[in-house]
A and B are shown apart, each in its own frame.
Chain A
Amino acid sequence: MRPILRLLPIGIALAVAAPLLLIAAALLRPSGESWAHLWETRLLEMLTQTMLLVCAVGLGTLVLGTGLAWLVSAYSFPGRALFAWLLVLPLAMPGFVLGFVFMATFDYAGPVQSALRAWLGPTLWFPEVRSLGGAAIVLTLAWYPYVYLLARAAFAEQAASTLDAARAMGSSRTHALFRLVLPLARPSLVAGVTLVMLETLTDFATVRYFNVLTLSEGILRVWEGMMDRETATQLAALLLLVALGLILLERILRGAARYTQLSGAPRIAPLPLHGWRAAVATGACALILAVAFVLPAAQLVAWALAEQRSATMPTADGVAERYIVVSLGLAAGAAALAALCALLLTTGERLGGGRVQRGAARLATLGYAMPGAVVGVGVLTLLAAFDHAIIARGLVGALLLTGSLTGLFYAYVVRFLAVAYGSVDASMEKVTPRLVEAARCMGASQGRIIWRIHTPLVRAGLLAGAMLVFVDVMKELPVTLLLRPFGMDTLAIWTYMLAAESFWQAAAIPALIIVLVGVLPIALLVRTGERVAVR
C-alpha cells in the first residue's frame, strides 16, 4: 500500500480529533466549584432528560422509519412508488423549523387550541406542548428519514431468495420480517438509529423551544451564562462519554456479524394489498407525510405569503440572494470534503487493515456526537493558538485561520465526517471480502482494488453521505454561528434569529428556502438510488 494512503487516514483522524481532545482533556483537570454546583442541582436532571429524549427519539425513529420502509418495500398499494421517495422529504426540514411550526400551531395561543377553546369552552385540557414529549414527537418526525433511508436501502439489497426460502418453509411474511429480514438489516438499522441518537444529543435549538434541559443545552447555559469555560468543557467531555457509549453500543449491536448478499439476485417482490388493507397502507404513509412535511410546509408558505403582503420585518434588497449563495456554497464544500475524507478513512481501514487505521476511523467520527457549539469553540481555540504562533513568528497576515472559511470548513468536517463515514462504511460492509480476495488472487494492486472495486461499489454510499452532509450543513446552527466569517450568514442563522424572537412570519421565508434547497439533493439521491436498485 502506498504510504500516502496509509498516512492520510491517520492525518485526517488527528486533525479531526485535535479540537475534541482539547475538550476531553478537561476531564483530567480537577473540577471547580461550579462543577460541584451542577452536581448539586441539575446535572442529574440533565442526564435523565438527555437519556429519556435520546431513547424516545431513537425508539420513535426506529419504529416509524423501519415500519414505513418495510411497508413500501414489501407491499404494493396505491401511491407506493410516490410515497417511497416522498417519505424522505422531512429530511429537508430542519428540526428547529419543525419545532417552531409545531409550537406556533399547538401551544396555548396557537390556532389549534384557540379553535378548540372557541368550540369546547375555555377550560379545555390540552397536553403541555412545551415538554419532553413534545420535543420527542417533533424530533422523531424530523429525523425518522435517516432510519427510513438506510432501512429501505437494506431491504432493497436483500435477495428475494432468502425471503422466498423462509416463505417456502411456511413462515408468514410478518414472521419472516422479524426473524430474517430485520436481523439481516440490523447493521443499517443500528447505524440509522445511532445517527438519530447522536443528532438528538447535540440538538440545542429545538429542545430550547420545548423547555427540555439536555446536556447540550446545559453546556450552552454554563458556557454562555456563567462564562465558565471549564465547567462547560467538563460537561462537554461528559457528553463525549455518553456519545462514546452510544457508538460502542452500535459496534456491539452491529457485532462481528457480516452479512453479504448475492449481488444481481432478484429483489423482494412487493405483495399487492387490496381493499381496506391498501387504504390503511396509503393512509398511514399520507398521514406521516402530512404531519411531518406537507402541513408544516403549508404553514410556512402561508406565513411567507402573509409576510410578503405585510412585512413584519424590513429586509434589505439582495439579502436573501446572498444568504442562498452562502448556504449553498458552504454546504457543497463541506459535503465534498467530508465525502472525500470518509472514502479515505474507510478504504484505509479496510486495505491498511491495521488497528491504527481502525482506531483512526473511530477517532475521526467522534465529532458528530459533540454539540456544534463545543466543536466550534474547540476549533476556534485551536486555530487561535495556531494564529498566535504564526504572529509570534512575525508572519502576520500570511495565513489567519480564525474567522476564515478554512476554519469553518474544518469545523464542518469535524462535525459531520461521521455522517459521510457511516454511509460509506455501511456500503463498504457489503463489499464481500471474497471479491477483494479474488481480485488479490488475480494480482490486482491495492490502488486498483480501491479504484475498480470499492469506489464503484460504494458510489451510492458516497453520494448518500455527501447528500446527508449537504442537508445537515444547510440546517447547521451553532458551528456556523461561532465560526463564520463576516458576511457569511446562512439561511439557517437568519431563520433561527427571527424564530427565536417569534417573528415566525418573517422566519418562514428563509425556512422555506432551506426546505426547497434541501428537497433537490434528496430527490436526486432517491432517484439515483432507485436506478442502482433497478440495475
Chain B
Amino acid sequence: MHRNASQLFIRLFAPLLIALLFIGSSSPVAAQSAPQVVNIYSARHYGALEPVFQRFTQETGIEVRLSQGTAQSLVERLRAEGRQTPADILFTIDAGGLWTAAELGLLQPINSAVLRQNIPANLRDPQNRWFGLSQRARVIVYNPTKVSPTELSTYAALGASKWRNRLCFRPSSHIYTQALVSSFIGLHGEKVTEQQIIRPWVRNNPKFIDSDSRIVETIAAGGCDVGITNHYYVAQQLARNPNLPVKVFFPNQQESGTVVNLSGMGVTAAARNRDNAIKLIEWLSVTGQGQGATPDTLSGGNYEFPANPTAPVNPIIIGFGPFKIDPQPKSELGRFQPAAIKLLERSGYR
C-alpha cells in the first residue's frame, strides 16, 4: 500500500513540474526567435506610453513589449541577468538611472546620425549610451489665492520661516526628490545643500505626499500653499479643470536656472534585438512621430517638453512662460544620488 501515497504525489506533481519547466524554459527562447520585437524595461507608467508605441508598431511592424518597474529595480535586474537579459532597451523617467546603468556597463554606445541630429548634445550621454526623449521641469507650484509670485524666488528660499507649515513635498524615497537634491549637490556641494536648503526646508515642517498629482490637488484645495512637482502634473490638472487655483513658478531664474530632468532610453549592452531597439529610439526622436504636442507622441501625451528642438510644444505648457534651464550636465542627477539620499535622511527629510 506504499504505492498509494507516492502515486498520488507523482500523479499530481510530475505533470505540473514538467509543464512548468517546459513553459518556463521555452518562454525566453520564444521571445528571442520571434521575428520583429523590441523588449523594453520601462520605468514610465503605462497610460502615457501605449498610444505612441501602438503607432510605432503600426508603422514598422515591430512589436513593442514592456516590462514595468522602478528604474532602480530594473537596473538591478539588468545587472543580475548580465548577458542573459531579455531587455533591449532601458527606459527611465530620470537621467540618473540611465547614467547609473551606463556607468555599470549595462548600456552600449549607439552611433546614429539621426539621433545626433535630433537630440541636442546636452540631452544625451557624451558617449551616446543614452538619449533623452522628453524633458520635465521640477517647478514650484503655488495657490494664487494665498501666495503672490513675488514672494517666490529659489528652491532654497522655501526654507524661510514664513513658509512654516505651508509646504508640500514629495518624500525622499522618490527618484524626483533624489534627482533634485543630487543636482543641488552638483551645484553647491553637500555642506551648503544640507545647511542652507534641506535642513531649513525640514524646519518648516512640510507635509510629505508621495504623489506629485496629489500635491497639486492638495495645494488647490488649500492644504498647502506651495509645493515642488514636475510641471506636467499641473498641466494635466489644468487640462481637466482650467479654473483650478494652482500656478507654476520657475525657480532659480536669477541663479543657475530651473532643474530639468529627462525621460530617455539606452540600448542594453546585451540587446538581442539591437537593430529594432535603435529603430525605435530613432523613430521616437523624430518630430511628428515620438516628438510633438499631440497625445499620440511621447512628449505630448504627457505634457512634457520634447527633446527635439524642432518639435511643437503643447500650448498649456507654453502658457507657463519661458524659463532658464539649469545647465549642469544631466549626469549630475545620477552621480550624487547616493549622497543625496544620505543627506536627506540625516537631515530628517521624510
Contacts and interface: CB of A to CB of B under 8 A. Distances in A.
Interface of A: 2, 4-5, 8, 34, 37, 40-42, 103, 107-109, 114, 117, 122, 130, 208-209, 211, 213, 217, 220-221, 223-229, 312-316, 319, 333, 336-337, 340, 344, 373, 377, 380-381, 384, 387-388, 391, 397-407, 409, 444-448, 450-451, 455, 481-482, 484-487, 489, 493-494, 497-498, 500-503, 506
A498 to B, nearest CB: 7
Contacts of B306: none
- Give the 6 A-B residue pairs with the shortest CB-CB distance, closest first: A406-B24, A224-B72, A108-B223, A313-B47, A447-B5, A502-B213
Given A384-B81, A445-B2, A41 B346 contact: yes
Interface string B304-322: 0000000000000000000
Contacts of A455: 8
Nearest to B219: A109
Interface string B203-218: 0000111111110011
A409 to B, nearest CB: 6
B47 A314 contact: yes
A406 to B, nearest CB: 3
Nearest to A317: B54
Contacts of A398: 25
Contacts of B77: 380, 482
Interface in B53-94: 54, 65-70, 72-73, 75-77, 80-86
A403 B210 contact: no
B257 interface: no
Nearest to B21: A406
A109 B217 contact: yes
B45 interface: yes
Contacts of B147: none
B5 A221 contact: no
Given A221-B173, A398-B25, A377 B76 contact: yes
Interface of B: 1-6, 8-9, 12-13, 16, 20-21, 23-25, 27-29, 31-32, 39, 45-47, 50-51, 54, 65-70, 72-73, 75-77, 80-86, 100, 171-173, 178, 207-214, 217-218, 220-223, 240, 295, 337-338, 341-342, 345-346, 350
Contact of A37 (B46, B222, B342, B350): B342
A388 B80 CA distance: 10
B50 to A, nearest CB: 5
B218 A404 contact: no
B20 A314 contact: no
Contacts of A108: 207, 218, 221, 223
Contacts, number: 217
Contacts of B207: 108, 130
A406 B25 contact: yes
B13 A497 contact: no
Given A2-B6, A40-B346, A228-B338, A209 B223 contact: no
16 contacts: A2-B2, A5-B5, A208-B173, A208-B210, A225-B338, A315-B47, A391-B83, A400-B28, A401-B24, A402-B80, A406-B23, A451-B1, A485-B31, A494-B46, A497-B45, A502-B212
B341 A221 contact: yes
B28 to A, nearest CB: 5
Contacts of A497: 45-46, 68
B209 A227 contact: no
B1 A444 contact: yes
A318 to B, nearest CB: 12
A422 to B, nearest CB: 21
Contacts of A313: 46-47
B6 A5 contact: yes
Contact of B20 (A130, A217, A333, A447): A333
Contact of A217 (B83, B173, B240): B173
Given A399-B25, A444-B1, A501-B213, A487 B65 contact: yes
Contact of A503 (B16, B47, B68): B47
